[in-house]
Amino acid sequence: MSGLVFNDVSKHFGNFAAVDRVNLSVPHGTFVCMLGPSGCGKTTLLRMVAGLEEPTTGTILLDGKDITPVPTHKRNLGMVFQSLALFPHLTVGENVAYPLRIRSMAKEEQKKRVEELLTLIHLPGYAERPVSKLSGGQRQRVAIARALALSPRLFLLDEPLSALDAKLREAMQVELRQLQQKLGITTIVVTHDQREAMTMADLVVVMGDGRIRQAASPIDIYRKPADAFVADFIGSTNLLTVEADSAGRAIVLGQPVPGLSLPNGMAKGLISIRPEDVHLAKNANGGIRGKVTFIRDLGGTIETFVDASGTTIVAVTTPRERGDITAGAEVNVVLPADSCVVLKQ
């Protein structure tokens, strides 16, 4: 296969498995975001792709070739780390040209390539500027240009945007995605920011305790989480206990959810329902009875917290959908069956 393949890759530090039997195929040209809580093994997995860490077991293939024994500098990859590691005393042009100089590219050719790369990252004409005079976002772009100078086969980034403020980070996410699409380069980004992953990725890989919990498109991860860990980690969700009654109906907080049934053999489980899918009505028939405890008006959206027999359910609406529901109101919480994902407990 053209692309990157992980075959049963593990990394142990002593008795501890930082990465635990990872199997994954990444087709060429895919933008992958590795996502997961701190310590779940994202960076270790990326470092193994980079050749900075040796797998304890398993192999990594690039375009069908086993690269596990290949040293970093022969893997044909570009890397950007959180620290950027730019040379502060050099100009933008000198920084970007550094890998070209190491490869002894002719001076004129270097100059041409640097200008090409600076145009690509929207900093044309910046070659003579000292790197120390650039803004955070501009430095980020210079680090990206330097990593791409030798047209690598693989582009690896570890938390590349985490030092930027929220607004700039969002702009850079879009820019990075557009750049990757333009170049069609297989890219792996490690992040703990799920919005970042949802914005940029073709393939989101959610990790937990060294293992891949789910690898799927952003929308599938959001709409069809594989388990409660993924559902809870990506976006916010309501995780509620569900039980089958003797008539086979799915019961949540004492009430049947019309149209919902549990898979054969499952007596008890969880449902995940996103706050934007929860309906609240003041005088509806059916649904779960509850009391509004708190309303958070965020301007564009409104979060309504409902207490139902000691369990909090969160609903998100637009201001227009809010109606006349206020704190303290008794409401019926309606869970549409087609928005409920049934998960093992």
Applying CB under 6 A, the span of 32-40, 136-144, 249-257, 268-276 interacting with ligand ATP comes to 32-40
Q: Closer to ligand ATP by CB, 205 or 280: give it.
A: 205
User: According to CB under 6 A, which one of 26, 36, 110, 260 is a site residue for ligand ATP?
Assistant: 36
Specify the pairing of strand 268-273 against strand 238-244.
antiparallel
Min. distance of Cβ 58 from ligand ATP in angstroms? 16
Min. distance of Cβ 192 from ligand ATP in angstroms? 5
Cα 230 to Cα 56: distance, rounded to the nearest angstrom: 27
Specify the pairing of strand 302-308 against strand 311-317.
antiparallel
If one asks whether residue 208 binds ligand ATP (CB under 6 A), the answer comes out as no
Q: Give SS3 for 7.
A: strand
Binding mask 51-90 for ligand ATP (x = CB under 6 A): ----------------------------------------
Q: Closer to ligand ATP by CB, 42 or 75: give it.
A: 42
Nearest Cα neighbor of 252 from 278, 227, 232 is 278
Q: Closer to ligand ATP by CB, 234 or 271: give it.
A: 234
Q: Closer to ligand ATP by CB, 38 or 285: give it.
A: 38
Residue 256 φ/ψ region, left for φ over 0, alpha for ψ in the -120 to 50 degree band, beta for the rest: beta
Min. distance of Cβ 28 from ligand ATP in angstroms? 25
If one asks whether residue 42 binds ligand ATP (CB under 6 A), the answer comes out as yes
Q: What are phi and psi of 108, to 5 degrees?
A: -60, -40
Q: How many residues bind ligand ATP (CB under 6 A)?
A: 11
If one asks whether residue 18 binds ligand ATP (CB under 6 A), the answer comes out as yes
If one asks whether residue 40 binds ligand ATP (CB under 6 A), the answer comes out as yes
Specify the pairing of strand 31-35 against strand 186-191.
parallel
Q: What is the 3-state secondary structure (H, E, C) of 42-78?
A: HHHHHHHHHCCCCCCEEEEEECCEECCCCCHHHCCEE
Which residues in the 83-122 window bind ligand ATP by CB under 6 A?
Answer: none
Contacts within 8 Å (CB) and 24+ apart, 101-107: 103/150
Min. distance of Cβ 46 from ligand ATP in angstroms? 8
Give Cα 128 to chain centroid, integer Å: 36
Alpha carbon of 340 to those of 30, 105, 271, 335, 345: distances in Å?
Answer: 30, 58, 6, 7, 14
Q: Give SS3 for 105.
A: coil
Q: Hey, CA dihedral for 61, 181, 108, 94, is it positive or negative?
A: negative
User: According to CB under 6 A, which one of 10, 33, 41, 271 is a site residue for ligand ATP?
Assistant: 41
Spell out the residues 6+ positions from residue 191 whose beta carbon is closer than 8 angstroms to its own.
Answer: 33, 34, 35, 159, 161, 162, 197
Applying CB under 6 A, the span of 35-43, 258-266, 286-294, 316-324 interacting with ligand ATP comes to 35-43
Min. distance of Cβ 56 from ligand ATP in angstroms? 12
If one asks whether residue 43 binds ligand ATP (CB under 6 A), the answer comes out as yes
Applying CB under 6 A, the span of 39-47, 226-234, 254-262, 319-327 interacting with ligand ATP comes to 39-47
Binding mask 176-205 for ligand ATP (x = CB under 6 A): ----------------x-------------
User: According to CB under 6 A, which one of 10, 30, 44, 173 is a site residue for ligand ATP?
Assistant: 44
Which positions lie near ligand ATP, rule CB under 6 A? 13, 18, 36, 38-44, 192
